[in-house]
Each structure stands twice: as structure tokens, then as C-alpha cells.
Chains A and B, each alone.
Chain A
Amino acid sequence: MIQARRHFHEELDQLVGQLTSMAQLAGDAVGKAVHALLSGDVDLADLVVTEDQAVDDLYSSIHQAWLETMALQTPVAVDLRLMSAILHLVVTLERMGDQATNIAKIVRSIEGLPQEPMILEHLREMGDLVQPMVSTAMEAFVRRDLGMAMRLPEMDEPVNRLNRSMAREIANCGRDHDLLEWAVPMLMVSRALERVGDQAVDIGEQVAFLLTGEFQEFTRPDTDDGR
């Protein structure tokens, strides 16, 4: 096939490559933040906060390149849909990095407080569920795999379920003020991980738009009680 716009398509490939790097960083940050929480590793948590700058830098770089490409290359059809998806993904991944930072900041604030092992176990489980969702979403994007993208809502269901049960578990901490002081921020951690799962589903929706030209939310609002 003759590539009459070879340089433009190479620019698109570079944007996708940068986006993949950004997703890797954001996904790793979520994993590190959860690990720091579970192990009480404040230094690791501080590192997650520091490293979020790399995600933000990639956001700025991709956004600038995106603007120039739109202005100079006027993409159409699948190229236009790819540009639209890139803009959605870059914002989504930047926010994913912010969720990891939010979790990491909580680690220092709860240092020395008593813990409830069951809550920690459920948060570990949520962390273990959302990280593969991020990699699956990005793999579907890079491989242009609609079937893979459409599996994401199913992967998100247990994350939503665990998040919904978190309020009750925190209430069960009773009247131990120290324990409650630890437990309440765990609700925020749970919410942050649930958002990461949603963000992976959002990426899947963009993959579907890229491949079909049609946009629709995977999870219908009337059945969506977790998002």
C-alpha cells in the first residue's frame, strides 16, 4: 500500500507510543501506591507522588503534539477518530496518575494508626483487579481489538462490588476512634481504585469508537450503580 501521508502516519504512531508509555507509568503508579498502602511504605508512597510528574510531563507533551497535528495535518476518517481517542485517553491517563497520587498521599497520613486486615485485604484485591484492566484496555487500543475492549465492563464488576461493600466494612470498625481515623481514608482509597477501573472502561469505549465510528457507554446508566 502506498502511504501518501507517511510522515503524518508516523506522527500518529509516535503519539500512540507516547500514550502507551504514559499508561504504563500510570498503571505502575496505581500498583506501587496500593503496595505502599499495604506495606506501610511511606518512602514508596512519596516516590509515587514524585513520579507523577513524569505522567504530567507526558500529558503536556502529547497534548502539544496533538494540537500541532490537528492544526497541520487535518486528519479525517479513522485518523480523525484516532486523534479523538488520543485526546480522551491522555486526559483519562493523567487522571489515573492523580488517583495513584491520592492513594499515596493517604499512606503518610495514616502512619502509626491501627488497621483492619479485612479492609486491607479487599483493597489489595481491588488493586489486583484494576491493574490488569488498565493493561487490557491499552492492549485493546494498540491492537485495535474490539472484543478485548468489550470485556472490560465484566472485569470492572468485582471492583464495583468491593467498593460498594467498603462503607459497611468501615462502619463495622465500631467506636475505636484510632481505627476509624485509619478506616475513613480507606473509603477514599476504595473510591480511587474504583475510578481507575472506570477509567479503564472509558479507554475501552474509546477503542470501540475508534473501530466503529459509534460512541456509546459500555455500561448503561440505568444498570450502572458502581460508576
Chain B
Amino acid sequence: MSDKQAFVRTAVASSPNPDDMPLTSAMETRSLNVFYGAFRAVKDVDLTVYDNQITALIGSSGCGKSTLLRSFNRMNDLVAGARVDGEVLYHDRNIYGPGVDPVEVRRRIGMVFQKPNPFPKSIYDNVAWGAKVNGYKGSLDDLVEEALGQAALWDEVKDKLHQSGYSLSGGQQQRLCIARTIAVKPEIILMDEPTSALDPVATLRIEELIQDLKTRYTIVIVTHNMQQAARASDFTAFLNMDEDRAGRVVEFGKTGDIFTRPEHEETENYITGRFG
């Protein structure tokens, strides 16, 4: 046993971790591979996303973060030539299994995109649209207020609900998109670089919002911004490309551990800016 192994073993044995608490799985991937035609973009991913936790996916450009994220709600189905091997288990059922309705999957597992993409409709209709399509029977007014409230936008728009969604600032538009996602009552929200088009203040507001949302939702966020992952997430998965350019999860763990004492040299080199 090396000096380091012996030292760490003794240190861990003498320091119980009070932060450890039971976590339940919201979603799990098993031997997940994603292909675009013959090209394998994501390789052999076994990853657990925990309930009411924020999981960040980090890694360099092209390592498969967004592809992996989109496979969590079958968004890749919409890409010609895309194919998935393996399983994505949600409530113990493979979302790629026979008889699973991808539209229902996307209702339960919503997505917020890189650029705010409100519909060319009023603020109200942007939020109410999904519920209307799904035949929502309750009060749309209440639903809109609740969703905008959870998205920390209500106070800013309550007096102009019938103005166009395009009249809002970029940060407000992104919160409107989050409200639109929330309004169809998902369990999991996927976010693909949700602040990359926003200024620093709008970015911090979204990060704060994400923290508030995790009491109700499970969140998975792809980010290029490592400090954002450090600030805003509970768990972090680091992905890297293999020589065949397929992305794989190198390390997954609590964000505090990943950013202070990662186990893998590859992770350490990436987050400290020493690329191998």
C-alpha cells in the first residue's frame, strides 16, 4: 500500500461525514450509448440522477454532454440518424422501451435550451400553451401565476401578461421558458447551457432560481462554465472524449468533492486547466 493510500484510509476512517444523507434515484442510465449514424457520440454511460438534486454535466466541447442530456428525454429521436443503445430508467421503466410515448416522456422530463426560445405569443400564452395542448382542466390563470411565480418572474410581468414574450429581456425570456416548462408539471428539468446567452447578472438570477427549483424538481444542467457547475450543482459528472471521439463519464460525485479532491487525474487536469 502506498503512503497516500494508507494516509487516506486512516483519515477517512477517523472522519465521519455528517453530510451523507439517503438519496433516491430519479433516473438511471445503464450502458447507454448514443450514435449519430455510424459515429458513437456517447459511450457506456452508467449514471444516476438523484431526486431533488442538481446534477451538472461538464466537459470540453464535443465530449457528448448535450447528446447525453438530450437522451434523457428522447429529444435525440428528433435527430435523423440518431440511435440509442442501453437503457434510461425512469420510475424503473426504460424510456426507450416498447410502448413508451416520447411526448409523455418529454412532458415529465422537460427541457430548457441554450438560447431563450419563447413562442411568438403573449407571456400568458407562452406559459399556458402546454397545459392547453394537454387538455388541462384547472384554472389556467392560477397555473400561469404559479409557474411564473416559481420561475421568479411573476412580479416583473404580472401587469403585462398579454404583451409579447419577445418584449422581455434575455434573462426574463429564459425564465419565461423555465415557467413554460414548469407549467406542464414535469418531475425532471433538463437544462442545456441555460445561461450561455445571458449577461452575468441574468446568469446569477437563473442560478439562484435553479437552487429554488430543486425543492420541487430534479435538475440536470449542462454547462461550459465550471464555476457555474461548482456554484449551482450538488453532483457533477465530468465527461471526456476517448480517442475514438466518443464521450464517456470519467468521474461522477458530489460537486464539493469533484472541485476539491477529484479521484481521477483526467478530471483534475481538466478542471485545473492542465489538459492532457
Binding site for B on A (CB under 8 A): 1-5, 8-9, 74-81, 146-147, 150, 208, 211-216
Q: Which residues of B contact A216 (CB under 8 A)?
A: 7, 10-11, 14-15
Instruction: Report the stretch among B94-102, B167-175, B260-268 that lies at the interface.
Output: B260-268
- Give the Cβ gap from A88 to chain B, nearest Cβ, in Å: 15
Q: Which residues of B contact A147 (CB under 8 A)?
A: 3
In the complex, whether B8 has a CB less than 8 A from a CB of chain A is yes
Binding site for A on B (CB under 8 A): 3-4, 7-8, 10-12, 14-15, 226-227, 230, 259-262, 267-269, 271-276
Q: Which of A78, A147, A215 has the most CB of B within 10 A?
A: A78
Q: Which residues of A contact B271 (CB under 8 A)?
A: 76-77
With CB as the reference atom, state the residue of chain B lying closest to A74: B227
Q: Give 10 new A-B contacts, CB below 8 A, not counting A4-B274, A213-B261, A215-B11.
A: A1-B274, A3-B274, A74-B227, A76-B259, A76-B272, A77-B259, A146-B4, A208-B7, A212-B261, A216-B7
B276 A146 Cβ-Cβ under 8 A: no
A76 B275 Cβ-Cβ under 8 A: no
B269 A1 Cβ-Cβ under 8 A: yes
Q: Tell whether A214 pairs with B7 under 8 Å between CB atoms, given A76-B259, A80-B260.
A: yes
A77 B261 Cβ-Cβ under 8 A: yes
Q: Tell whether A214 pairs with B11 under 8 Å between CB atoms, given A74-B227, A76-B230, A77-B261.
A: yes
Count of chain A to chain B residue pairs whose CB atoms are closer than 8 Å in the complex: 69
Q: Which residues of B contact A8 (CB under 8 A)?
A: 273
With CB as the reference atom, state the residue of chain A lying closest to B262: A77
Q: Tell whether A212 pairs with B11 under 8 Å between CB atoms, given A77-B261, A78-B268, A80-B259.
A: yes
- Give the Cβ gap from B138 to chain A, nearest Cβ, in Å: 45
- Give the Cβ gap from B92 to chain A, nearest Cβ, in Å: 36
Q: Which residues of B contact A76 (CB under 8 A)?
A: 226, 230, 259-260, 271-272
With CB as the reference atom, state the residue of chain B lying closest to A3: B274
- Give the Cβ gap from A204 to chain B, nearest Cβ, in Å: 11
- Give the Cβ gap from B41 to chain A, nearest Cβ, in Å: 23
Q: Tell whether A5 pairs with B273 under 8 Å between CB atoms, given A80-B259, A146-B4, A212-B8.
A: yes
**Contact residue among A1, A81, A150 (Cβ-Cβ distance under 8 Å from B260):** A81
